[in-house]
Amino acid sequence: MAGSQSFDITSGCDLQEVDNAINQALKEIRQRYDFKGLAVGIDFNRAENKIVLKGPDDFKLRAIWDIVQEKMVRRNVPVKNLHPGKTLPAAGGTATQEISLQQGIPIETARAIVKFVKELKIKKVQAEIQGDQMRVSSPKRDDLQAVMGHIKEKDFGLELNFGNYRGN
């Protein structure tokens, strides 16, 4: 008798790697000639999963954001999970921009993934939402691999990780 097979779908950023990337970006910004003498900075709030960019204007904020993205890519932090907000004016003629880090799968995206798995119409494959992650189960390993391939092909707007494969 065949047991049930399953795998988990998660999403998130390694916060230590994010911190390292921000420190590298700050180091580069301090050395760059076009930022000399300007009030620029990057703050990382781990508790709120937010990065705040500070600069004199929108143009410099975009340059800082480009540097941060480059450092994130080098440290294997999924840039798809970084969501920049609008540029807001701040005190002293400066501007700020908040970037939120996506930790976990949002409920709307999880529902879209469940719907997508059901639309595949692969027999006995079930997807369930478990908080900010998901579990896909089936009696057949081949069906799970097919579902995983289809999910990887479709873009759900964030970096999805597959793991915790279990065969009972």
Per-10-residue mean pLDDT of the chain, 168 residues long, equals 77 90 92 86 91 90 92 91 87 87 90 90 87 89 88 88 78
Distance CA 13, CA 83 (A): 12
Which token pair is 168? 């009972």
Q: Are residues 80 and 20 in the same domain?
A: yes
Show which of 80, 101, 122 is a domain's final residue: 101
Is the separation of the CB atoms in 101 and 51 below 8 Å? yes
Domains identified in the chain, total number: 2
Question: H or E element: which one contains 69?
Answer: helix 58-74
Distance CA 121, CA 103 (A): 29
Distance CA 53, CA 93 (A): 14
Q: Are residues 61 and 86 in the same domain?
A: yes
- Does the pTM surpass 0.75? The reply is yes
Domain boundaries, position 115? 5-11+104-167
Please name the amino acid found at residue 154. Answer: K
